[in-house]
Structure 1
C-alpha cells in the first residue's frame, strides 16, 4: 500500500513551487508556506502601469532544458519567444558594441593579440564538456582569467564584472563560476553568425508561476501566503514539523527552499556541526532599480560596465529582448547593484538611489533626461547571490540533511551554475525525487 506523506514546503519561489507541484502530482499531501503575498521569490512580479512586470530581469538560453521541458508540460510552450540580442560595453566613458565576433575584432581597447585570444578562449570554453569546470574549481577566478584571457582582457572586461557582482567577496571566487557563465551563454549563440539568441515568456515569469500554482492547487495542494515559518522542529534526529505565530503543524517531511541563512535561523534541534556547515555559506544581497522610460537608452539588451565612475553590475534594457507592447513602446531598464545587506548603501532611500543612478545613465547616454522617467521601482533582497568560493564543492550542503525527513534546496547547490529559473526548476525536481525515493 502506497504511503501518503504529509509534506511542508517552505518558500514559494520557483524551486519551492516546482517541488510542491512534483510531489502533488505523485499524490502526496503538500502544504506550501510563503512569507510574501506574491509567489515567485526572486522571480516574482509586481504591478507597474496596470501590468505585471518581474522585479528582476530574467532571460532564457537555448540549453535551459529544465525550463523548456516545464513550459511544454504546462502547455506554455506557445508563450515562449526567441530574439537575437546585442550586448554593449561601457568602458572609460565610451559605449561600445561588444557581442559579436566583428565587434571584438574592431574593439579599440584591445590589441590584435588580445582580440584573438579573447575570441579563442570563448570558443574553447563553449566547446568543453559540461563538467569542464571541475579541473579549475580550486583556482581563484582572477588567476584563471589572466592566464587564459590575458591581463588586458582581465582589466577591461572581467575584473570590473567580478568586483561589481561580488564586492568584498571577489577575491574568494572560484574560476568555476566564471567558466559556467561563459559556457551557458556561449551555448545560446547561433552556430554560423555567433549572434546571441535569448528567450522570454510572454507575460514574464508570472506566466510560469501562475501555471505552477494552478496545477499544484488542482492536484490538491494548499498554499499559505503571508506566512513566515519561524521554526523547523527536530525531535530524536527526525523532523517533527514547523511552527509560526504560535501554531504548530506536524509533518512527515519538511523541504526548505529559502536561503541557507534563513534556514539555519529556523532550525531547532539539529547538530551543531551541521548548523556550522550551513552557516559558512556566504551570500551577497542585491538592490535593483527598475525604470520605465519614454525613450530608449541604448540599442543593447545587456550593457556591461567597465568604468570606475559607475557602480552598477550592468544596464539591462529588457525591452530590447521582450518588447512588452502593453507598455506602449516605453523602455524597461533594470539597474542592479550587488552588495552585502550590511553595506550602508543597501539602506539608501529610493529617491537618493534614483538620483545616483540617473547620474550614471547620463554618462552612458548624454541625451538622457530625468523627464524620460515615467515610473520607477526599487527591489531589494538580502540573499541574492551565493558566493561560490575556491573549492566550494567540498563545503556546499547537500539536499539531504542529517535530520530524517528534512531537505534543503538553495541556489548554492547549483554550483558552478548560476541561479537561473531553469536551474531552480531542476533543483525542485531533484528534491522531489529524493523525497519519493
Structure 2
C-alpha cells in the first residue's frame, strides 16, 4: 500500500530516503529549509564558478555511492585520480601517505616511524570495531605509536578539531577514518580518490529529478516547525503555520534540532538528544592564480596555524582556477566561532603564503567563508549507547542523522547507504 511520508532535510541522507521510497511506490515529500538540495554537499556561485561549500571526495570503497550512480545512469561521470598527501611540519612541506614518505619524514625517530606504520596497517585489517567503542582515542593511539609519534603526527589534529573534547573521543571513530583512507590505496605506494564531473551537484540533481519522476515532491525554503504527535503516533508536520497530514515522518536534520521539532517526545528521549554535542566548521575557500602545492591533502603541525589541514581541491578535480579549502573546526560554543569571516580569511592567506613563499596577495582571486554549526557529531567513548534509537517510541516516526552510521565518518556514500536502508525499514 502506498504511503504518504514526510522527509525532513534534503541532504544526501534525506534525498536517499525519498529516492528509495519513491522508487518503491510511495509518496515522499521532502521539506528543506535551504533554497537548494544538498545540505553540506550543496554548491554555491563562487565568482561565476559553481562549487561545493565544503570539500568532498570519493574512495574506491564507496559502494553505496557508486551503486546509486549506476542506477541513475551517471557512472560515466565518475573520474578517478592518483592523489598525493603532504605534511607541513618543521617549516617545510614533506611528502606523506606511503611507507617511503614515512621513512623519509624529518621529525621522527626510526622506532616511532615503525610503530606509526604498524598501527596504520593494522587499522586497515581490523573488521570488528565494537571493542573500540568504549576506548578513549588519544590514549589508544599513544599506546600504539608512542609519545613521540603522537606529539608530532596526531596531537594537533585532535586539538585543532575538537579543542576541549580532544581527550574524550571514541577510538572506534578514529579507527574508521584511518581505515577509510588506507583502503583508498590501489597499491602500497599509490592513493586513488574520485570526483564527479560537475561536482556533487551532478548527483544531487540526479537524485532530485528521479524523486520527482517517481511521484515524490521536494519543497525548498520550507522548514518544518513541528512534528505533530498525538495519542502516541505521528500525525503530520507543521510548515509555514499550516498542519499537513502524513502517515509517517522521517527526520534527517541534525539531531540537536529534534527537541525543538518534536517537544512532545518523552522527556528521557529529549534528554538524550540534548546531551549530544557537535563540532562546527568555518570553511574558507580560496581561488588562486597558481597552485599552493602538488598535494591534494596536507596535514599541518605548526604552532602558528590553528588548523588540522589544507585541501587543495584542484589537485583532485581540475578546474579553471586553483581552489583550496581550509577548514577551521571547533565546538560551536567556542568564542572563536563568533569571529567575523575576515579573521579566518586573513589567517588562510597568511598560512598559504607560508606554505608557498612564492604566493602573494595578488594571487588570491577570491576568498569566501562558509559556516555550518552542526558539521560533525562528537563521538565520545561509549557513543553507541548514548545515541538515541532511529525508531522512536512513537508510531510512524524515525529520526536519524550522520551520527547513526557511527563509527563511520560523515560521508556521501555512507549517507546514501543508510538513507536507503532507513527507507526500507520505514515501510517494512
Q: Which TM-score bucket, shorter chain as reference?
A: over 0.9
CA distance in 1, matches of 2:383, 2:401: 14
CA distance in 1, matches of 2:358, 2:49: 28
Equivalent residues in 2 for 1:187-336 (5 A)? 187-191=183-187, 193-324=188-319, 327=320, 330-336=321-327
CA contact (8 A) 2:90 2:107 kept: no
Q: What is the DSSP-based 3-state SS (H/G/I as helix, E as strand, rest coil) of the residue aligned with 2:327?
A: strand
Residue matched to 1:60: 58
Residue matched to 2:82: 84
* Aligned counterpart for 1:44 among listed residues 42, 45, 67: 42
* Aligned counterpart for 1:102 among listed residues 100, 105, 113: 100
- Unpaired segments of 5 or more residues in structure 2? none
1:340 Cα deviation from its structure 2 partner: 2.2
Residue matched to 2:153: 157
1:220 Cα deviation from its structure 2 partner: 1.1
Task: State yes or no: 1:144 paired with 2:144.
Answer: no
CA distance in 1, matches of 2:285, 2:12: 21
TM-superposition CA deviations, 1:360-402 (whole Å, max 9, x none): 2222222221211111221101100101100111111222111
Task: State yes or no: 1:390 paired with 2:381.
Answer: yes
* Aligned counterpart for 1:415 among listed residues 393, 397, 406: 406
TM-superposition CA deviations, 1:150-199 (whole Å, max 9, x none): 111111111111111212211110111111111111111123x4311111
Task: State yes or no: 1:175 paired with 2:171.
Answer: yes
1:352 Cα deviation from its structure 2 partner: 2.9
1:270 Cα deviation from its structure 2 partner: 1.0
CA distance in 1, matches of 2:114, 2:332: 40
The two structures, once aligned, show a CA RMSD in angstroms of 1.2
Task: State yes or no: 1:73 paired with 2:71.
Answer: yes
TM-superposition CA deviations, 1:398-425 (whole Å, max 9, x none): 2211111011121111111100100010
CA distance in 1, matches of 2:263, 2:171: 35
Task: State yes or no: 1:93 paired with 2:84.
Answer: no
- Unpaired segments of 5 or more residues in structure 1? none
Q: What is the DSSP-based 3-state SS (H/G/I as helix, E as strand, rest coil) of the residue aligned with 2:223?
A: coil
How many pairs does the alignment contain?
428
Q: What is the DSSP-based 3-state SS (H/G/I as helix, E as strand, rest coil) of the residue aligned with 2:371?
A: strand
Residue matched to 2:352: 361
Q: What is the DSSP-based 3-state SS (H/G/I as helix, E as strand, rest coil) of the residue aligned with 1:299?
A: coil
CA contact (8 A) 1:274 1:402 kept: no
CA distance in 2, matches of 1:406, 1:436: 11
CA distance in 2, matches of 1:283, 1:155: 25
CA distance in 2, matches of 1:422, 1:153: 31
CA contact (8 A) 1:233 1:268 kept: no
Task: State yes or no: 1:425 paired with 2:416.
Answer: yes
Q: What is the DSSP-based 3-state SS (H/G/I as helix, E as strand, rest coil) of the residue aligned with 1:150?
A: helix
CA distance in 2, matches of 1:290, 1:256: 30
CA distance in 1, matches of 2:366, 2:357: 20
CA contact (8 A) 1:284 1:338 kept: yes
1:214 Cα deviation from its structure 2 partner: 0.3
Residue matched to 1:9: 7
1:345 Cα deviation from its structure 2 partner: 2.4
Q: Which is worse superposed, 362-371 or 154-163? A: 362-371
CA distance in 2, matches of 1:197, 1:426: 22
TM-superposition CA deviations, 1:64-119 (whole Å, max 9, x none): 11101111111111011111111111113221111121111111211111112222
